[in-house]
Structure 1
Amino acid sequence: MSADDGTLTARLRAAGCVFAEEEAARLLAAAPDAAALEAMVVRRVAGTPLEHVLGVADFAGVRLEIADGVFVPRHRTELLTMTARALIRNGATVLDLCCGTGALGLVVVRGVPGARLVAADIDPVAVGCARRNLAGVTAEVFAGDLFEPLPAGLRGRVDILLANVPYVPTAEIAFLPEEFRVHEARAALDGGADGLDVLRRVAAGAPAWLAPGGALLCEAGDAQLEAAHAALRAAGLHPATVTDEETETHVVVGRLR
């Protein structure tokens, strides 16, 4: 391939890519020829997330297919999967709502004997990604709004409900980095006036789907924790928070007793 590593790194660095050298190496490795490489670099320099340019995203040790517009799983969300894995037992049923690429559910059930994974998302493009990423793990990946597309037989059987809901307040979306604000579906980011609209809907519906002792897990911002706990309590769940001080990430856990 004719592209020079140094020149490519310089182009990416000039465009504001913090990890320009690493990105250059990944683009060079992924491009089948010089023309494809140039097309990929043009997209990246224009602000398209590297994951969308490459068509893959890495999360918690797994590599996932990802399509344009689909939410890129963040490193900070690994706390949610770690918290869930501390709760999971053999044979557990895991429901991944707002599943996006299917990353969370895939990581949580990995290596757990007899685990059943069910996933759903409102975005049909994300559902397509999840179905491909979860092939061989589960065929139960549904398209629809939260609990609406799920099989009725799942009610009362969910041991772990993962809900990586959007929790950015609407007014704050304009201040997000362009990679998120422009290149990811708004439905994956916008949580309503205080950022908790979708979380409240999930919390309200969760008790009907959780098994006794089951848990709902989702993220929330520091300023949202009190309201998030109130939403879980209003639904009959018992809330607690797990925090990673390094990433300033909070996972809210609501148990059904």
Structure 2
Amino acid sequence: MPEGSSIVSTLRSAGCVFAEDEARLLLDAAHTPDELDRMVEQRVNGLPLEHILGWVDFCGSRMVIRRGVFVPRRRTEFLVRQAAMIAKPGAVVVDLCCGSGVIGAALSDFLASCELYATDIDPAAVDCARRNVEPRGGRVFAGDLYHALPRQLQGRVDIVLANAPYVPTRAIGMMPPEARLHEPLVALDGGTDGLDVQRRVAEHAADWLAPGGSLVVETSAAQASETSLLLQHFGLATRIVRDEDLDATVVLGQLRR
């Protein structure tokens, strides 16, 4: 197989910031020199590393990732940890816009047990999410937000997780090529102000949450105040939490008892 140092140089020349780490992962994953060559070429051409490997390290667990599915960001681990601080073992958890399903899966791991449901409108995401959620005893549904959920969940959900798309449409073109070219637009585009999907999530949250239940939403630092206001508009008491190291912002909304 090609030497690691030459792969590092190739990746670094292509703009990979963590070239050494990526080279090691590709070397470990490849079974033959030809396979390694293909993987390196794919990475040089901009395919996300996680799509090449078929997995992502998220909250300390190796989760399945498939091509054409949104790659979870490290900052989203902050959302999971915030949810874990307020959820109890056995909680009823819903992961909306679940993508690969890693958010709900990771929270399930933190809680040791929960009643987990996830939904996404993208068939590729649903297929990928099932690989992460179902081994943990959860269920994944194809459909638009709450409409995909079993009706018997209304009024008994303890935690709704929502890493809904929040990039304003006009900003999509400024995103890195890895995202623009290899991740589905439906997982990125949050509409004119970036809050279109969050608004729909918040609008119906009170119908699904149990008394005292919480909606946990990832957003940006610039949008946090607006996200908080729209959750308040639909009857939730809110607070904004942030992790500067991860550049992560979460709005917690609680249904008043």
Mind listing any 5+ residue stretches in structure 2 that lack a counterpart? none
| Counterpart in the other structure of 2:253 | 254
Q: Secondary structure at the match of 1:252?
A: strand
Q: Does 1:56 align with 2:93?
A: no
Contact 1:219 1:251 in 2 (8 A): yes
Contact 2:217 2:251 in 1 (8 A): yes
Distance 2:49 2:113 in 1: 35
TM-score computed with the length of structure 1 as normaliser? 0.96
Q: Secondary structure at the match of 2:253?
A: strand
Distance 1:230 1:10 in 2: 48
What amino acid does structure 2 have at the position aligned with 1:130? A
Given the superposition, is the C-alpha separation of residues 179 and 114 from structure 1 closer, same or farther in structure 2, using an over 3 Å criterion? Answer: closer
> In the TM superposition, what is the alpha-carbon distance from 1:35 to its structure 2 partner?
1.2
CA RMSD of aligned residues (A): 1.1
What amino acid does structure 2 have at the position aligned with 1:183? H
Distance 1:65 1:230 in 2: 35
| Counterpart in the other structure of 1:20 | 19
Mind listing any 5+ residue stretches in structure 1 that lack a counterpart? none
Aligned pair count reads: 256
| Counterpart in the other structure of 1:116 | 115
Contact 2:142 2:148 in 1 (8 A): yes
| Counterpart in the other structure of 2:40 | 41
Contact 1:244 1:250 in 2 (8 A): yes
Q: Secondary structure at the match of 2:67?
A: coil
Q: Which runs of 4+ in 1 moved over 3 A?
A: none
What amino acid does structure 1 have at the position aligned with 2:203? A
> In the TM superposition, what is the alpha-carbon distance from 1:256 to its structure 2 partner?
0.3
Between the aligned residues of both structures, percent identity stands at: 51
**1:54-93 residue CA offsets vs partner (Å, 9 max, x unmatched):** 1111111011111112111111111101100000112210
Q: Secondary structure at the match of 2:222?
A: helix
Contact 1:118 1:138 in 2 (8 A): no
> In the TM superposition, what is the alpha-carbon distance from 1:121 to its structure 2 partner?
0.7
**1:166-219 residue CA offsets vs partner (Å, 9 max, x unmatched):** 101110111111111111111111100110000000000111000000000111
What amino acid does structure 1 have at the position aligned with 2:145? L
- Where does 1:91-106 land on structure 2 (aligned, <5 Å)? 91-106=90-105
Q: Secondary structure at the match of 1:135?
A: helix
Contact 1:174 1:181 in 2 (8 A): yes
Distance 1:130 1:114 in 2: 18
What amino acid does structure 2 have at the position aligned with 1:160? I
Given the superposition, is the C-alpha separation of residues 87 and 139 from structure 1 closer, same or farther in structure 2, using an over 3 Å criterion? Answer: closer
Distance 2:160 2:236 in 1: 12
**1:69-126 residue CA offsets vs partner (Å, 9 max, x unmatched):** 2111111111101100000112210000111111111111215354100011111111
What amino acid does structure 2 have at the position aligned with 1:144? G
> In the TM superposition, what is the alpha-carbon distance from 1:139 to its structure 2 partner?
4.3
TM-score computed with the length of structure 2 as normaliser? 0.96
| Counterpart in the other structure of 2:151 | 152
Distance 1:113 1:35 in 2: 41
Q: Does 1:32 align with 2:39?
A: no
| Counterpart in the other structure of 1:213 | 212
- Where does 1:58-97 land on structure 2 (aligned, <5 Å)? 58-97=57-96
**1:30-71 residue CA offsets vs partner (Å, 9 max, x unmatched):** 011111111111110001110011111111101111111211
